[in-house]
Amino acid sequence: MEEEVDRGKSDFKFDNWAVSLNLPPRVIQQLQQEELVTKEVLLLVEESDLKALGLPLGCTKLIMREISKWKGSISPASGNQLNPDAASLDGAGKLLDDLLTSSNGVLAGRDETPTSTFMDPRSLLTIKL
């Protein structure tokens, strides 16, 4: 009964999905054995998990591509990653912090005179002209 309730929440059909990817019967059986048969569970899977199961590289890549599509992290048209990783977000945050700090003239070891025209009203007027 619980299984019927879960199926009502999602229109995901594991068997149809696996066949649409042309996964070999052995791979399908292995995913079923590991209970990787719902979209919710598959969204938690990482490539290293599939490699640890001993799945062939091609099947692993196909499955991960589909999972990435579900997560919205890959643009179908270009195949480029749209979501930055944590390291690039951290780096961007530090750069922005440095930029904002320098625009207020609060630079370590320097005087209080602003060295950047970022957010300077005069630079905005110059851009408008």
pLDDT digits (tens, 9 = 90+) for 35-84: 999 999 999 999 999 999 999 999 999 999 999 998 885 444 444 444 55
Name the average pLDDT for the chain. Answer: 73
Would you say 64 and 47 are in contact if contact means Cβ atoms under 8 Å apart? Answer: yes
Number of Cβ within a 10 Å radius of residue 67: 19
- What are the domain boundaries of the chain? 2-71, 86-128
Structure confidence at residue 76 (pLDDT): 46
- Cα atoms in the 13 Å half-sphere on the side-chain side of 13: 4
Range 2-71: architecture per CATH: Orthogonal Bundle (1.10)
